[in-house]
Amino acid sequence: MVPYLVSLDISENKINCLTTEKLQSLRHIRELHLADNPWTCLCAEALHRFINSRNLFCSNTCLDVVLKDRCHNGGFTPRPGTTITPSPPPPSTTMHPPLPLPDFHVNISGSCFADHDGKHYHCSNGDRFILDQIPSWVSSIELYNCYIEHLPASTFSRFENLTELILRNCSLNEIDERAFYGLRRLEKLTIKGNNFAVVREGWFHHCEHLYRLDLSNNYLVEIESRAFHNLKYLQYLNLEDNMFSCIYTDSFTHLSRLDTVEFSRNPLKWRCWQELKQFLEVRTIGYTDHKCPYDATHLVRDLQKDGSNRPQNYTGQAITNDVTYFGFILTVAMVYSLR
């Protein structure tokens, strides 16, 4: 439920029961609109007691018709519709303790704006409920500089026409495996500048038409073995600026259409970097060619080049020092190459 809700309108639906337990947490609620629903008698009586106990405003004769005519409640006294006005906010001495204020870093409302065609929305400075400001027919959503630590299941399920989704700098720590459920038309997904560490197996199960995936600039250290298994149309993958010490090639074996992988600026072990590079070259997959931070070959070659440029009039002590230094660097390079 939404704890700061003041008014709730569920009139003219097909609801036959709403348990009062679901309403108890709405400590600031002052108005209920319940008319023209097929309420059962037991639920109508319970709702009537709840409304009276909280002195709430209930419009359009509220539950009078159900209780008096259909439920034959002889002891029922209708609420006088002409004199009822919404009750003022509860005083500070209410029996319910006041809710804690939201963290001052969180802007609950945020703001959204649409492009000229109305199909591309950009939202910032809100929590995940900022999605309520976006109509369901849009084709592109960008959320940036938001405070969304957790994406629950079916977060985007009502956006059936969505083809592009961008989650940038949203403080994401955890993503439910079914968070992207229903996004069967999604083609481009960007999740960058966040705080999560593992790419989970079930995230992209319903995103079979995805062809571009950008997971750069997070804190990723692991990709679960079948995380990309269902992405048969994936062409571009960006894993740059993460914390991978090894990116295992098993993650890419089922990606028959993959043609570009970006993985620079990760602290990759030298052996893993070599295996990944060879795997991509054999399959003619383009990649970011960068110098591995633990590349022993380059380290030794640089040292040899540096030595060849020195003057030849070494003293015996200088030669001894250089040999010792070279042996130390070579040992370090061999250790890194075996990691």
316 and 275 part of one domain: no
Confidence class for position 164, pLDDT limits 50, 70, 90: very high
125 and 237 part of one domain: yes
117 and 26 part of one domain: no
Task: Give the model confidence (pLDDT) of 186-221 as tens digits.
Answer: 999 999 999 999 999 999 998 999 999 999 999 999
278 and 191 part of one domain: yes
Distance CA(239)–CA(290), nearest Å, equals 13
What mean pLDDT comes out for the span 102-123? 76
What mean pLDDT comes out for the span 216-233? 94
Distance CA(61)–CA(9), nearest Å, equals 14
Number of domains in the chain: 3
Cα–Cα distances (Å) from 281 to 83, 260, 323, in that order, read 80, 11, 37
153 and 244 part of one domain: yes
Query: What are the b/e assignments for 35-69, b being 16+ CB within 10 Å?
Result: bebebeeebbbbbbebbeebebbbbeebbbbbbee
pLDDT at position 299 over 90: no
Among residues 130, 157, 154, which one has the least CA distance to residue 142?
130
Whether residue 14 is contained in a domain is answered as yes
What mean pLDDT comes out for the span 147-153? 93
209 and 324 part of one domain: no
Phi, psi torsion values for 195, nearest 5 degrees: -120, 5
Task: Give the model confidence (pLDDT) of 11-24 as tens digits.
Answer: 888 887 887 777 77
Whether residue 81 is contained in a domain is answered as no
Q: Which of 17-31, 61-75, 95-109, 269-283 has the highest mean pLDDT?
A: 269-283
Residue 42 belongs to what domain range? 7-70
32 and 181 part of one domain: no
Specify the CATH number for the domain of residue 207: 3.80.10.10
Among residues 326, 327, 262, 271, which one has the least CA distance to residue 295?
271
Q: What single letter denotes the amino acid at residue 112? A: C
58 and 22 part of one domain: yes
